[in-house]
Each structure stands twice: as structure tokens, then as C-alpha cells.
Structure 1
Amino acid sequence: MILSKRPDVERFLREPTPDIRAVVIYGKDRGVVRDRANALAKRVVERPDDPFDTAMLTDGDLDADPAKLEDELSAMSLMGGRRLVRLRLGGEKAGPDKQASEALARHVEGQLNPDAFFLVEAGALGRDSLLRKVGEKANGCAVIPCYEDEAGDLARLARDTLANDKVALNSEALDLFVSRLPKERGVARAEIERLALYLGPNSGVTATAADLTDFLGVEPEASLSDAAADAFGGRAGAAQTALRRAAAEGEGGPAAVRAMSYYLGRLRRVLTLHKNGVDLQAAAKAAGVFWKQEREFLRQARGWNLEAILEIQGEILTADRACKTSGSPDQLLAERLALMIAGRARRLGL
């Protein structure tokens, strides 16, 4: 079975169903894959790091000894009870994928130790992956694809991780902090842990946006959030320059388009609230606009209207699809989108 919806995945990780004896977790973001695998391992055995309860294998182990995986899946726990066999596939070789799929098929059919739990962690498995095909069709196996974190995912990760150290951020500080976090789960987690040390573990502090000034420093001029703000503010040259600097720092065209989409969504929410009778400044606060950016954002909100926003939304969706096409000049597409938005903003009087 395939578990792709977040509530289903979280429910399964908390309480794996007894009829499942194998799970394949895969995705481009290995940090998300690792987090979910670790959470599941803790539910399967009491001591997931104990070699008596858990066998840890990699694709290198399969290359060295093709029979090792099935040997481990056939072995009984030395301490009695359930045994966990974890396999981490780090490369894109067909051999380990084929070996893992064959072992998975035999295991779910009950040919190996029925008390063993087979947990596979892999990168972005394509549709041609035998492991993925076998896992999706086999009874007794769950397949969990992992996708890139969104802002809400990172916010939950930040809240939960900081709460473990008995520190927190208020809503404005959380919004600011998450906007600066990288999308890769492992790197984001390291930044959150660094913030916890900065705030003081077990201090009970709830930090404000102002408290984060020294920790975050001055946001680079090339930040994608500033590029989006420049575009919607009618500053074409500044938006283009920011995007090129962001590209030099490793932020590609798809990320730039997402930043502009996120900014448009916030602007649309403010305008919708205002249309329904909410004061413009109160609407901006409700949408989570950072107080240092409020004056400029309100200037833009007074210039834009919902009709123009809907037209731009269509352009953003088109650019997003184009950027995801193999071999597309995504950076140029993002710059073209920013210039188009800035041009429309100028025509609106901004």
C-alpha cells in the first residue's frame, strides 16, 4: 500500500499496523526520509540502536555479500522478540535495488523470519525502480514517498524541536525564522538546533522577531523574499539583481518562482480580508506580515487589486510548470516573471 497523505503517514508512524512487516521510505530529501525512518524504528523495537535488536545495512554491504540481506531477514533476535533490519540505499545502482526488491518479495510472503521488520530508506526512486514496484503491490508492505518540506512543515519542525529544549518563538519570529530556513530537512534541523542553543536550552524564553536580529544577521540583498517584494513593488532592476545574486548563492529558478507565488498568496489574502471589511493594517497582521516590512507591503496592497492578482497567479503557474520541464532555462524564466510582475506593478501606479 502507498501512504502519501500526511495524516495517514503520521498515523502510521505513530501506530504501525500489525499486518505490515516491511516499509519502504524514499524521497529526494534524505533528511525527511531519515526522520520518518527513525520515528518508525522507535515504534518497531525498544532499542533501535542496539545491534542485538537491529541490523543496519547499506548498499555497500549488498555489493560485498549478496546473501547478507536475506541472512539478516532470516535471523532471529538474540534477545527474543521482534527484530529490525534497516537497509539504507545511498546510490542509484540497479543491483542493490534489485536485491532489495527480491528480498522484500520473499519477506512479505513469509518465507523469511516473520518476526523481522524490514525497513528500507532510499533516495528518489523512479517509476522503473523494482523495489518501488514490488513494495507498492505487495501485501504486508507500506511505501511512503517523501516530498520537499513546505513552509508549514518547517514551522512544525521548528516548534516541536524548540519545544524539546523548552524555548519558543512568537508568531512573528517563527514566520521570520522559517522564511530563512533552507528546504533540506537535515540542514534546517541543524539551524533550529543552533537557534535553541542561542536562546538557551531550558530557559523557557519565547523569543520575538527583534530577539532574532543578532542571530539571523542582515538578510542578504539577494534573498528570494526581497526579490519577490521588489517585483511586486515595481522595482524591476532591484528584483532582477536580487534573483541573480540568489542564483549565485545556489537558489535556482524554481525556488524563485515559489517565493513569488508565496508573496502573491499573502498579498491576495490581505486584499481578500480587506474586501470583506477588515482594516488593511489588521489584515496584514493577520496574514503574518513582518512588522519591518509592513509599510512597504501596505503600499503595495493599496496599489494592487484582486483582479490583477488573479492574472499574475496564472502567469506564476505557467512559469512554475515551465521551470519544472527538463532542460528549461529556469533562471531566465524566473527573471522574466519578476520583470513582468514589476511592469504590471508600475502600470498600477507603484
Structure 2
Amino acid sequence: MTAVKAGEVEGLLRRGPDPRIAVILVYGPDTGLVAERARKLAESAVEDPSDPFALVKIDADVLAGDPGRLIDEAGTVGLFGGQRSVWVRPGSRPIAPAVDLVLKAEPTGTRIVIEAGDLAKSAPLRALCERSPRALAIPCYPDDAGQLADLIDRTLKAEGLRISREARETLAAGLGGDRRASLGEIEKLALYARGQGEITLDDVEAVASDVSGSVLNALIDAAFAGRLGDAERQYRRFQVEGMDASVMLGSALRHALTLLATRIDGEGKSPSAMVAGWRGLHFRRQRTVETQLARWNAEGLRRSVGLLQEAVLACRRSEAGFAHAVALDTVLKLAAEANRRG
């Protein structure tokens, strides 16, 4: 079995995967973290990631229509020699047959990194990679408190900065839904504090926007609470701020999954009792999340998760303008469904 446990991932990434591994599957509900880890694994295998002959990027839907292409790319020799890497970007069609061909073939030394969504344990691609001794399956779940603290320290250390414990705890409390969004907040703080040595609580309060109370979560809360007009207004504001549509959808997916887990674990409890056990939920959001839990049952949340997963993949394959159209349509569908349930 080569399924990597969530707690072992960071250590594996620091050491680097075994060179005998042919395929690395990166999957999970945190799309920002999936994308970050897939990029690092694909780029670290080659000398020059900007060389398109060394690092080949393929859309998964292309492979689904031509399963033999992946094994052809794995066996191709670079134009100037050297190590090659193939980065398979997310798609909506199955690519397990293409991966199976590679795993059954003779080793070529090419690293194949597959970026995927939140795969069930029974999903053919995940099952294939977990069974094969020549593949790794790396899960990407939202950061917990310890991982957030480590992410903050590592990112700031790279900029020559330290952070006080109080400042770290305050910053971490406002992060977590999406790795990409969390990194953006930490990097913004580092830019503000550059050259001063240590970051204090005053710096965090002056610069870092609380992701729990940001435009992003205001939008997500409006959608899941069924406030159609508010959801549309918040999306327009979100778009004006220049934020990425796929980041928003990834955060909405994370929120839907948390709602689902809370609803299942709290079976028989009142919404207020379920909210009381929601770790890290900002007090200003408690009332609206109670409304969401009252409106959505488990089956409805499962359908919302599927809708968001499809939208995330559609956005990743689209130009920015069309991605926003997809994201807005998804937000309004969620809001309309929540409003109907109310």
C-alpha cells in the first residue's frame, strides 16, 4: 500500500519522494493545497521548470480521450536531455486507464504528478495509485491548528521574520479554509513587516484580514443561508477586489464539507448545539451558520459538494472572465436552493 497518511505528507515532501516512484497522485478537498503540492512535486523533478520540454503540462480530459499519450510522454527523452516531469491538471473525465498503462510499463525515470479533486476511497484512480508500489497517493485536507502554525513560521522564516506567539495564534484563527488564501494572507503580512525582525499582534491586526470575516466568507455565508440578493452583491464585490474564482469555490467546497460533517456528527442535535462544537468558527458567523445547518440536510449538502467540485474543475480550465461566470452561477444556484429549503 502506498497511500500516504495526512500527517506524513510534509515530511515526505521535505525528503522528496523515492525516485523509483513513477506516479504521484495529489488529491483532496483543499484545492489550494492540492495545487501547491502538485506544482512543487512537478517542478522539483526538473532543473528548469520554465522549460516546456522538461516540464510537460497536460489536461486530464485530453488523456481521457487518448490514454496512450501519458506513457508516450513518460518515455520521451528531453530535447537537451535531463530529468523530465509530466504534470496532469484536473479534468472531469476518468484517466485511470492511462495511469494503469504507465504503472505496468518499464520505468522511464519521468515523474508524473496528477492533480485531482476530492476522490472517494473507491474512486478508480485513487484505488489504483494506493495499490501500486510504483505510485503514491497524497491527500490534501484543510490545515489544522498545528499545520497552520508551521505554515506561518516557515513562510515568515523564509522572509527573515519571527512572530510572537500571541500574533501567531490570532493570525491562525483567521486562516484555514484554503491553503492558497492562507498563504496570501501570510505573505501580505510579511511584506508589511519586512525589515522589522519580529511580527507583533499590532501588525496582524493592522494588516491581515480575518478570512473568517472577509468578503470571501461573507459571500459563502450569504449563499448557504439562501440570501440571493446579498449573495449576488457580495460576488460583485468579490470580483471587484480582484480575487480568484477558483479560490472562492475551493473555500465554498471546504465550507460545504464542514457543514456536511457537522450535520452528520450532530444528528439529533439542534443547530445551535452543532455550532457550539465547530472549531475555529468566528463568533460573528455563528448565527448565520446556525441558519445554514437548519436549512440544509445531509443529502442536500452532498449534492452541493458535487456541484462545487464540478465548478472548481470548470474554473481551473477556463479563462478568468468565464471562470467568474461559472462561479457566480454556482453561487446563485446554492443560494436559490438554500432559499427554497428555508
The equivalent residue for 2:109 is 115
Give the secondary structure class of the aligned counterpart of 1:81: coil
For the structure 1 residues 324 and 38, does the alpha-carbon distance in structure 2 shift closer, same or farther, using more than 3 Å as the test? Answer: farther
Q: Percent identity?
A: 30
Give the secondary structure class of the aligned counterpart of 2:177: coil
Deviation, structure 1 residue 124: 0.7
Aligned-partner Cα distance in 2 for 1:107–1:142: 13
Q: What are the within-5 Å matches in structure 2 for residues 253-272 of structure 1?
A: 254=259, 257=274, 260-262=277-279
The equivalent residue for 1:193 is 187
Aligned-partner Cα distance in 1 for 2:174–2:84: 41
Aligned-partner Cα distance in 2 for 1:121–1:153: 21
The equivalent residue for 2:203 is 211
For the structure 1 residues 2 and 63, does the alpha-carbon distance in structure 2 shift closer, same or farther, using more than 3 Å as the test? Answer: closer
Deviation, structure 1 residue 41: 2.8
Q: Does 1:172 align with 2:166?
A: yes
**What is the RMSD of the two structures over their aligned residues, measured on CA atoms?**
3.8
Give the secondary structure class of the aligned counterpart of 2:299: coil
- Work out whether residues 28 and 139 of structure 2, in 8 Å CA contact, stay in contact via their aligned partners in 1: yes
Q: Which digits, 9 at most, give the CA deviation of each residue in 1:17-62, with x for residues without a partner? A: 1321111111111111122223323442222332221111112433
Deviation, structure 1 residue 66: 5.3
Aligned-partner Cα distance in 2 for 1:180–1:43: 31
The equivalent residue for 2:4 is 4
Q: Given the alignment, which residue of 85, 96, 104 partners 2:99?
A: 104
Aligned-partner Cα distance in 1 for 2:87–2:278: 39
Q: What are the within-5 Å matches in structure 2 for residues 161-310 of structure 1?
A: 161-200=155-194, 203-216=195-208, 254=259, 257=274, 260-262=277-279
- Work out whether residues 67 and 98 of structure 2, in 8 Å CA contact, stay in contact via their aligned partners in 1: no
The equivalent residue for 2:300 is 327
The one-letter code of the counterpart of 2:82 is G
The one-letter code of the counterpart of 1:34 is A
Q: Which digits, 9 at most, give the CA deviation of each residue in 1:54-97, with x for residues without a partner? A: 111112433675543332122122222332111011x433xxx2
For the structure 1 residues 44 and 160, does the alpha-carbon distance in structure 2 shift closer, same or farther, using more than 3 Å as the test? Answer: same
Aligned-partner Cα distance in 1 for 2:301–2:92: 24
The one-letter code of the counterpart of 1:39 is K
The equivalent residue for 1:285 is none
- Work out whether residues 28 and 124 of structure 1, in 8 Å CA contact, stay in contact via their aligned partners in 2: yes
The one-letter code of the counterpart of 2:34 is V
Give the secondary structure class of the aligned counterpart of 1:44: coil
- Work out whether residues 130 and 136 of structure 2, in 8 Å CA contact, stay in contact via their aligned partners in 1: yes
Aligned-partner Cα distance in 1 for 2:77–2:22: 15
**Farther-moved stretch of structure 1 (189-198 vs 100-109):** 100-109
Bigger CA radius of gyration:
1
Deviation, structure 1 residue 169: 1.8
Q: Count residues with an aligned counterpart.
A: 246
Aligned-partner Cα distance in 2 for 1:135–1:73: 17
For the structure 1 residues 218 and 149, does the alpha-carbon distance in structure 2 shift closer, same or farther, using more than 3 Å as the test? Answer: closer
Q: What are the within-5 Å matches in structure 2 for residues 62-81 of structure 1?
A: 62=63, 67-81=68-82
Aligned-partner Cα distance in 1 for 2:157–2:210: 26
For the structure 1 residues 217 and 49, does the alpha-carbon distance in structure 2 shift closer, same or farther, using more than 3 Å as the test? Answer: closer
The equivalent residue for 1:267 is none
The one-letter code of the counterpart of 2:175 is L
**Farther-moved stretch of structure 1 (214-223 vs 13-22):** 214-223
Aligned-partner Cα distance in 2 for 1:218–1:87: 33
- Work out whether residues 170 and 206 of structure 1, in 8 Å CA contact, stay in contact via their aligned partners in 2: yes
Aligned-partner Cα distance in 2 for 1:189–1:196: 10
For the structure 1 residues 39 and 176, does the alpha-carbon distance in structure 2 shift closer, same or farther, using more than 3 Å as the test? Answer: same
Q: Does 1:139 align with 2:168?
A: no
- Work out whether residues 3 and 9 of structure 1, in 8 Å CA contact, stay in contact via their aligned partners in 2: no
Greater RCO between the two (CA within 8 Å, min separation 6)? 2
Structure 2: runs of 5+ lacking an equivalent: 216-224, 235-251, 263-271, 282-292, 303-342
Give the secondary structure class of the aligned counterpart of 2:27: strand
For the structure 1 residues 11 and 175, does the alpha-carbon distance in structure 2 shift closer, same or farther, using more than 3 Å as the test? Answer: closer
- Work out whether residues 4 and 136 of structure 2, in 8 Å CA contact, stay in contact via their aligned partners in 1: no
What is the TM-score normalised by the length of structure 1?
0.59
Deviation, structure 1 residue 211: 3.0
Give the secondary structure class of the aligned counterpart of 1:327: helix
Give the secondary structure class of the aligned counterpart of 2:129: helix
Structure 1: runs of 5+ lacking an equivalent: 224-243, 265-319, 330-350
For the structure 1 residues 71 and 4, does the alpha-carbon distance in structure 2 shift closer, same or farther, using more than 3 Å as the test? Answer: closer
Deviation, structure 1 residue 222: 10
